[in-house]
Amino acid sequence: MNLKMKKIDDFFEKIITVKLSDDGKAVNIIDQTLLPNEIKRIDLRTKEEIFEAIKKLRVRGAPAIGVTAAYGMAVLSRGIKEKDFDDFYKKYKEISEYISSSRPTAVNLFWALSRMEDKLLSLKDKPVDEIVKGLFSEAEDIRNEDVEKSRWIGEAGFELLKEIREKTGRAPGILTHCNAGTLATAKYGTATAPMYIALEKGWSGQDMHVYCDETRPLLQGARLTAFELSEAGIDTTLQCDNMASALMAAGKIDIVFVGCDRVAANGDSANKIGTSGVAILAKHYGIPFYICAPDSTIDRETKDGSGIEIAMRSPDEVREMWYEKPMAPENISVYNPAFDVTPAELITGFITEKGVVTPPFGF
């Protein structure tokens, strides 16, 4: 193994977003609310702890939420005392519906919970102990498949980076928004997967330059993406969200990679607030804008973006959360949606584990 490969492997080992605890009785996550100042792992053993971790963004990113939910249901199923299947299933369903209410926008949450329920029902004629064992196996499959999906997304995105470097003769300039990195998935990330695959293919961190939007109001670009990319040794620059236009005008950006929480059937996509603005700017400056997401993020039952529920967050996240003293008038009204919807016509393409999908979209 060469030194570059060892370095990226060590990085991934250091930042495992979500896994099963060593004793198999908890979901073990990095508490992302403490990053970048502290890397702390916590165990989630109760339904309330799992709900709170998803709700409060201790774990976030659509794929990572799905993996957490899957492991969570396996762990919680072990605590159901009922041995009759109907009674067991009733209790399981109550817990699953409770967990599903923690985050309305991330479709992977519902996808993972649905898949776990399907696995349970497929084992309905088995003893409860075997059902529980099957749920743990299914959760592990969901995690491993997420790793493979992210890798394939990365492979496809890396081909685009190679084309840019061959065309320009210099390190590609990449803009990303929020965090769709390894911290948002089981490994590799979605929007960051092309960069991590580049490292595995032998590129150095200086063979590309990633610009991270700070990403208001929760600063996930600053706290998470800038943190993980710099930890991986990738040449990284942080800028405030309202500086993206100036950056593009200066010719610093060759391509935009972002993730998303939900894709409607027509291609409209919900991602962290501010993404639609980046897409509008990219369209103006003629910069390709790609959404990197696994197929499980596509909600084929929702016709277009108007059907995607957008969660509103606390006004205090804007007024005072990041300051020693409040930075806005007390009780001033705050508009604080967690996401916005990028119209399909602004999207150059989707990079999924199945390859690059270009317009016209129709999932």
Residue entry with tokens 């929020």: 178
Helices (H), the chain: 3-14, 47-55, 62-77, 85-100, 107-122, 128-168, 193-200, 220, 226-231, 244-249, 275-285, 316-319
Beta bridge partners of 25: none
Listed as own residue / partner, the contacts of 36-41 with beta carbons closer than 8 Å and 24 or more positions apart are: 36/223, 36/224, 36/226, 36/227, 39/14, 39/15
Residues 84 and 82: their CA atoms lie apart, in Å, by: 6
* CA distance from start to end of the chain: 41
Beta bridge partners of 20: 27
User: Which residue out of 146, 254, 261, 299 is catalytically annotated?
Assistant: 261
335 Cβ contact partners less than 8 Å away, ≥ 6 residues apart: none
Residue entry with tokens 């609310």: 33
Please count the residues of the chain: 363
DSSP state, 342?
A: E
Max distance between CA atoms of the chain, in angstroms, equals: 66
Q: How far is CA 261 from CA 7, 11, 175, 297, in A?
A: 30, 25, 18, 6
Q: How far is CA 257 from CA 23, 161, 241, 271, 283, in A?
A: 38, 11, 15, 12, 14
Q: How far is CA 332 from CA 158, 307, 335, in A?
A: 45, 29, 10
In whole angstroms, what separates CA 336 from the centre of its chain?
20
CB-side neighbour CA atoms (13 Å) of 124: 9
Helices 62-77 & 47-55, crossing angle to 10 degrees?
170
Active site annotation includes 241 = no
Catalytic (active-site) positions: 261
